[in-house]
Amino acid sequence: MKEMWKVLDAQRAETEAHPFFKWLSSDEVPLDERFVFTPVLIDFVMGFADLNKWFLRYSDPGSDWEHAINEHTSEDATHSLLFVQNWTHLNIGDTPEWPASKALWWMFQANDCLVVRRLGMAILDLSVRFPDPLVRFPIMEAIEICGDIFFGHSTRIAERIMEQQQVDHVYYGPYHRARETGHLQADEGSFVSAQLSPDQRREAEGGVRAVFGQFRGLFDHLLDFSLRATSDPASLARAIDREYALALSPAEPRAEPARREAPQYQPRARAGRVHPEQAPLLGLLDERRARLGRHGLVSSLQAGPFALERLQNFAPIWGVDVVSYRDFNELVLRYPQPSTDAERTINRWSRDLASHGRLYLRDWKTLGLDELLGWRMGDAVTYYFLSEHTEVHRRNMSKVKKLAMAHRAPLSRWWLMLALEQSGDVLFEAIRPLALALEAELGAPLDYWAYRHGLVEPGERDAAPHAFLEDDITPREAHVIRHIIGTVFDNIEEQFDQCDRLLHERVFSTRASSLPPHPSHIAELVRARHAAITATSA
């Protein structure tokens, strides 16, 4: 492990020399513009808690090394709350008036945030690929060192702002800096003395270099964004508004059935040859789908008056799932260099699925959700990353990401995508009559909820899809697929339970303003989350 410190030190020196830090510390840049890049960081900063809680932590630690890593994640999982404290009272980044729809788009789909989202996904992937604590430790050290470099510069600037403006800069300032030491918040002695095998050394060094490379790519982008934001902010704002308008623009008109037909990647009426080992898996899928169709939420969506209010009280909770689904398909499921028909089939299907969030955002505007909720940017950030409502959705999506990252074979990923789409079919079949009735009432389309997802799919079919159901599978693969189906449907049943409660309580139409955690409660929330995570570690 001591040899790994030479790699870490060399990578640190290269990162410290990045020109972004020269810009950040330059007195030629007005002090109140130094943190103009803040909105770009939202997804990584706020998602850092999820990384620690559900990826870096060991659910059942079995060694001192794993316990030490868990001790560190208990502290790091609370840092995103500090970011919200600064965001709400300092208005850093000059986006406080953005409505919730624009906030969702910005966080999970805007091009200016793609580098940050890609960084976050890459680190999630490393945590899944390398569960060995002796490999995970240097990877986490690399993350900590990058944070130490960044906050070493930001603290000096924040202290000057605090002195001049008499404000409390807890995230960029000394309070957070004291918790970003460049090392784990635990005793590192046992790690330092550990001996790595050649394979562990190779994996650890590869992971460390990947982390530093991703962060240097982030600093490239932060510098570029900051230069655009400080040299011509009006031009940057116009470019962002154009991209946002394009994201919500109507699809090119073309013939489309009343509802989206099942894509060719899925089994159609169980036609064609099915390998005997896969037939029971289709039976399990049918069983779970039928059970989900009997859920009380289905009747809640279909019965009663006030169609607009019912959909308004249902749609917002799904924002983080739907709008971030593009990244899941493009950054996780997609094969960067497909070499087989099976991989190319996965890529074509993931490309289609990645397009659907655009329809969701259009329906959001049609339903008048920005006006109903009255949320600004900070409200949307706190609700979608800190609310107990969305904790369920983010945790379940983390499970799905881990499944996709752990099982990279096309067959496993095809079954994961099939289970997700089949569970989604139940939801859309239940809600489509409500959406159609609302379309007639509003005189405007609701293409996402009316299940016309094909409107924005590219549509071209350049080759026949791989026939996954005909593939021979091993008992191990069958076990993995059963676990995938069970996890996906357990997730959606839990979210159906929650949605049914929210629907009956009419939370979004009666108390929307109280749903995002209030800034005055952030400190209390920090303490509660820290205590809960620490108790779990114990």
Residue linked to tokens 């499970």: 399
* Assigned token pair, 184: 């784990």
Whole-number Å distance between alpha carbons of 347 and 334: 5
Residue in 398, 330, 320 with CA at minimum distance from that of residue 104: 320
Q: At residue 442, does pLDDT exceed 60?
A: yes
Confidence of residue 321 (pLDDT cuts 50, 70, 90): very high
Whole-number Å distance between alpha carbons of 399 and 124: 11
| C-alpha distances in Å from residue 93, one per residue of 253, 294, 302 | 37, 46, 42
What average pLDDT does range 446-455 have in this prediction? Answer: 93
CB 8 within 8 A of CB 142: yes
CB 223 within 8 A of CB 20: yes
What average pLDDT does range 27-47 have in this prediction? Answer: 94
CB 448 within 8 A of CB 363: yes
pLDDT at site 80: 78
What average pLDDT does range 395-411 have in this prediction? Answer: 97
What average pLDDT does range 68-75 have in this prediction? Answer: 83
Contacts of 139 (CB under 8 A, 6+ apart): 126, 127, 130, 204, 207, 208, 211
pLDDT at site 72: 82
The more confident residue out of 461 and 338 is: 338
CB 456 within 8 A of CB 356: yes
| C-alpha distances in Å from residue 297, one per residue of 96, 235, 301, 302, 419 | 35, 46, 6, 9, 19
Residue linked to tokens 């962060």: 215
Confidence of residue 459 (pLDDT cuts 50, 70, 90): low
The more confident residue out of 160 and 251 is: 160
Neighbours of 156 (CB within 10 A): 16
What average pLDDT does range 385-394 have in this prediction? Answer: 93
161 three-class SS: helix
Q: At residue 187, does pLDDT exceed 50?
A: yes
DSSP string, 218-240: HHHHHHHHHHHHHH-HHHHHHHH
Whole-number Å distance between alpha carbons of 333 and 350: 7
Q: At residue 267, does pLDDT exceed 80?
A: no
Instruction: Give how far the C-alpha of residue 184 lies from the chain's centroid of Cα atoms, to the nearest Å.
Output: 24
pLDDT at site 270: 44
Confidence of residue 532 (pLDDT cuts 50, 70, 90): low
pLDDT tens figures, 271-310: 568 899 999 999 999 999 999 999 999 999 987 778 999 9
* Assigned token pair, 503: 């629907």
pLDDT at site 114: 97
* Assigned token pair, 311: 């959909």
The structure's pTM equals 0.92
Quote the strand ranges of 419-461, DSSP E.
Answer: none
| C-alpha distances in Å from residue 388, one per residue of 393, 461, 489 | 9, 41, 21
Residue linked to tokens 């593939």: 471
Whole-number Å distance between alpha carbons of 208 and 196: 15
Residue in 310, 261, 248 with CA at minimum distance from that of residue 437: 310
Residue linked to tokens 């169609």: 307
Whole-number Å distance between alpha carbons of 538 and 536: 5
pLDDT tens figures, 131-151: 999 999 999 999 999 999 999
pLDDT at site 462: 59
Number of residues written out for the chain: 538
pLDDT tens figures, 505-525: 999 999 999 999 875 665 566
The more confident residue out of 237 and 76 is: 237
Q: At residue 483, does pLDDT exceed 60?
A: yes
Quote the strand ranges of 259-392, DSSP E.
Answer: none
What average pLDDT does range 202-231 have in this prediction? Answer: 98
Residue in 208, 169, 175 with CA at minimum distance from that of residue 32: 169
The percent of residues in the chain predicted with pLDDT above 70, rounded, is 87
What is the DSSP code (8-state) at residue 248? T
What average pLDDT does range 52-74 have in this prediction? Answer: 90
pLDDT at site 96: 67
pLDDT at site 425: 94
| 231-262 residues labelled b (16+ CB within 10 A) or e (exposed) | eeeeebeeebeeebeebeeebeeeebeebbee
What average pLDDT does range 4-14 have in this prediction? Answer: 96
The interaxial angle of helices 341-353 and 410-442, nearest 10 deg, is 20
For the chain, the average pLDDT equals: 89
Confidence of residue 269 (pLDDT cuts 50, 70, 90): very low
* Assigned token pair, 57: 């932590």
The more confident residue out of 64 and 268 is: 64
CB 47 within 8 A of CB 120: yes
What is the DSSP code (8-state) at residue 58? -
What average pLDDT does range 216-242 have in this prediction? Answer: 96
Question: Which range has the worst mean pLDDT, 11-25, 239-253, 282-296, 386-400?
Answer: 239-253
| 73-110 residues labelled b (16+ CB within 10 A) or e (exposed) | bbbbbbbbbbbbbbbbebebbebeebbbbbbbbbbbbb
DSSP string, 289-311: HHHHHTSHHHHHHHSSS-HHHHH
pLDDT at site 316: 97
Confidence of residue 79 (pLDDT cuts 50, 70, 90): confident
Q: At residue 533, does pLDDT exceed 70?
A: no
Domains of the chain, earliest start first: 2-247 (1.20.910.10), 280-513 (1.20.910)
The span from the first CA to the last CA of the chain, in angstroms, equals 27
pLDDT tens figures, 88-146: 767 776 676 899 999 999 999 999 999 999 999 999 999 999 999 999 999 999 999 99
